[in-house]
Amino acid sequence: MKSVSALISRIRGSEKNGYLFMLPYIIFFCLFIAYPLIFSFVLIFHRWNIVTPMEWIALRNFFRMFQDPLFARAIINTLVFLVLHIPLQIVIALIFAVLLNSAIKFRGLFRSVYFFPVVVSGVVVTILWAQLYNYESGLFNHILTTIGLPAVPWLVDPGFAMPSIAIMATWKNVGLYIVLFLVGLQTIPAYLYEAARIDGASGKDQFLNITLPMLNPTIVVIFILSTIGGFSLFIEPYIMTGGGPMNSTLSAMLYIYNQAFSFNHMGYAAALGFVFALIILSVVMLQRKVLETGDYST
């Protein structure tokens, strides 16, 4: 009670114009964050197709979800994508960052070029890659068959489709992570390498014992960003495969989208989204616990 009255007197004594300046963000927050979140939570317990009135169905959306083989499949597909995409992205980004951190010609040009795909629209990139991956007339298979190798069913075989999407997503996003790694590399003190060289450490030893440990905070950030980005996999399967072949690229986001905007199952989609958000939260917390190994900067 005392603290409430202290808060009220604090507000009374504060500069009122400050609240006025905060008002645009407060309105934005209420309209576009708080209201949709609260509304989504209410939807979880309802059946609603936008047109007919909402119908209270308690936990039936969850009962349906746990019997829904497609949602389980979508979660597994998303995890498969993460397992393929994150290591690929980190390894490639690290290799290019190390190269671009060394004294090579046209370093600035290369740094820009590798960043280009990040700024290009995801839809445009996806449509272009769908052309490249085309089984009958794509450039990749044309090159392969020209040199005598068999054509690869990039997007038309359930075993190849998700790895193909992971390769494309890596190409699209790796530029951003190269920049993050470059920042990390440039903060490593030069004297550490100098001391290691005096002690006779090889390049490999320096990389394993100085570069990698010192990059740990960057790796954690990239891991978490990639995980969150990977969980939101949507545009690529939506445009390239529609979730096929045989649901092998049906991501959780695509499934939620289909339920909400193709079939108008707003309540069910909200319940799926809620559970999916909990899964993302758990995975990210687990990652932080496993990956954060301490501070090497001191």
Partner 1 sequence: MVFLNESNGLIVKEKIFVIICILFLLSCGAPSDDSRDERTDVIRLTYWPAPNPQEMELADSLVKVWNRNNPHIQVRMQPIPVGQSTEEVLLASIAAGTTPDICSNIWPGALYDFTRAGGLIPFEKFSDFDSVLTSRVPSELLETFRSPDGSVYQIPWKTNPVMMIYNKRILRELGYEEPPRIYSEFIRMGRELAERRENDKRFDVWMGERDIRPIWWQRFFDFLPFYYAASGGKTLFENHTVAFVNEYAEAVIAFFSECYREKVFPRTFSHQQDPFLLERMATNFAGSWQIPTIRRYAPHIEFGVAPVPVPDDHEGPIYTYGDFKNISIFSTTRYPEASWEFVKFLIEADHDLLLLEIANQIPVRGDLLTNPLFTDFFNDNPDMVLFAEQAVYTRSVDEVADIKEILDALSQEYEAAVVYGRRSPAEAIQRAARRAELIIEWNK
Helix (H, G, I), strand (E, B) or coil at 55: strand
Looking only at residues 56 through 75 of this chain, which bind partner 1 when binding is defined by CB under 8 A? Answer: 64
Token code pair at residue 187:
């903060």
Closer residue to partner 1 in complex, CB, 216/264: 264
Q: How far is the CB of 155 from partner 1 (least distance, A)?
A: 8
Q: How far is the CB of 130 from partner 1 (least distance, A)?
A: 6
Among 44, 82, 97, 130, binds partner 1 (CB under 8 A): 130
**What is the rounded CA–CA span in Å between residue 204 and residue 215?**
15
Helix (H, G, I), strand (E, B) or coil at 196: helix
**What is the rounded CA–CA span in Å between residue 65 and residue 63?**
5
Cα distance from N-terminal residue to C-terminal residue, the chain: 45
- The answer to whether residue 216 forms part of the interface with partner 1 (CB under 8 A) is no
Helix (H, G, I), strand (E, B) or coil at 47: strand
- The answer to whether residue 140 forms part of the interface with partner 1 (CB under 8 A) is no
One-letter amino acid of 207? F
**What is the rounded CA–CA span in Å between residue 112 and residue 287?**
31
Closer residue to partner 1 in complex, CB, 173/211: 173
Q: How far is the CB of 244 from partner 1 (least distance, A)?
A: 5
**What is the rounded CA–CA span in Å between residue 83 and residue 288?**
16
Q: How far is the CB of 136 from partner 1 (least distance, A)?
A: 5
One-letter amino acid of 193? Y
Among 40, 134, 216, 232, binds partner 1 (CB under 8 A): 134
- The answer to whether residue 156 forms part of the interface with partner 1 (CB under 8 A) is yes
Closer residue to partner 1 in complex, CB, 173/218: 173
Binding interface with partner 1 (CB under 8 A): 49-52, 64, 123, 127, 130-131, 134-137, 153, 156, 158, 234-235, 238-239, 241-247, 257-258, 261-265
